[in-house]
Amino acid sequence: MVIKASFHRYFLNFKIPGGTSRGVLKQKETFFLMLESDGKSGIGECGLFRGLSYDDREGYEAKLKWLCNNISLEKDLLLQELREFPSIQFGLEQALLSLYSRSGYDLFPSGFTQGKDSIPINGLIWMGSEEFMKDQIEKKLQEGFTTIKMKIGAIDFDTELSLLKNIRSRFNASELELRVDANGAFNPNEAMRKLEALSQLDIHSIEQPIKAGQTETMYNLCRSTPLPIALDEELIGIVNIEDKKKLLDEISPQFIILKPSLVGGFQGSRDWIRLAKKKGIGWWITSALESNIGLNAIAQFTYTLDNNLPQGLGTGGLFTNNISCPLFVDKGALHYSKDRKWQEVEQFLN
């Protein structure tokens, strides 16, 4: 079978700028890998995340061109060659599944894609002014979310603590699960004090309290923490299975969070999950600001993993120029409607 491949660069525009401890996001660059063969087409999203992705480096587009020129090679050989480019690995996995699927988007047929079941997700609260964050919290509560994840670390910690206290005064832990994501913002010298303060509010977990790469300090935090710690950025750039095992052995976190675009797609995520299960480490899946093409792939994959924890898949509605699709959020869960159609790719990209 002869396959033709090409790629397309695209910028997703935020409806409202998204605040994180690394700055305010107004646009998200991404790349689409397009395949054609025997009158069929496939599409995958290479969700490069500038400033965060391991493969945010010179030569990214050159590697995409190499892939397009060598698409006839065996899949395993391609993935091996792309091991330093996790987001391109993920785009290739998606595009091949898309090419050989019945509809182009039904990558993992299941009760989810049939509209019979949904995936519980967390409602994401972006950083910003106190009033802005309050407004987001109220909206998520009104929308029926029972798990809220709040990004912290950009404004005064006492203000963030006050916002969380206000939520907890209205809903106990059995009514509303609270997660926080520090994106590595805490100074190691003050991290334990802040963890102790947060633990008084029945917080489910905190993502990446200190910057990645401080293995001994993170191990000590995970060993003594009063609330569960989830590794996120810590996993980025760990591409060899031996190094993945070593990281989990050295830090022993309570959870790991997997962003397929950042950890090598389906295969990379499965590797982490297998290793985590052996050590009794919990996990969940999170999208990394992909368009609905990438989000669709992540959601369908996530459903097959049979993880009952709320997942981080609520980012599809953040952009003004996303592709229209069957995915929608209702009452704190991600659904797939058989009655909603995919927008034509040509129309979307143009």
pTM (two decimals): 0.95
**Same-domain check for residues 172 and 266:** yes
**Same-domain check for residues 93 and 131:** no
**Same-domain check for residues 58 and 181:** no
Torsion, Cα 41 43 345 312, to 10 degrees, reads: 150
Strands 23-37 and 40-46, sheet pairing: antiparallel
Mean pLDDT for all residues in the chain = 95
Query: Which of the listed residues 70, 100, 130 is the one where a domain comes to its end?
Result: 100
**Same-domain check for residues 179 and 283:** yes
CATH number, domain at 221?
A: 3.20.20.120
Question: Do 10 and 294 contact (CB within 8 A), yes or no?
Answer: no
Q: Check residue 18 and give its pLDDT.
A: 76
Catalytic residues: 151, 259
**Same-domain check for residues 83 and 156:** no
> Does any domain span residue 153?
yes
> Does any domain span residue 109?
no
CATH number, domain at 12?
A: 3.30.390.10
Q: Check residue 85 and give its pLDDT.
A: 98
Task: Tell me the average pLDDT across 342-348.
Answer: 94
Three-state DSSP class for 29? strand
The range of the structural domain enclosing residue 124 comes to 119-349
> Does any domain span residue 107?
no
**Same-domain check for residues 95 and 123:** no
What's the total number of domains in the chain?
2
For 54-102, what is each residue's pLDDT tens digit? 999 999 999 999 999 999 999 999 999 999 999 999 999 999 999 999 8
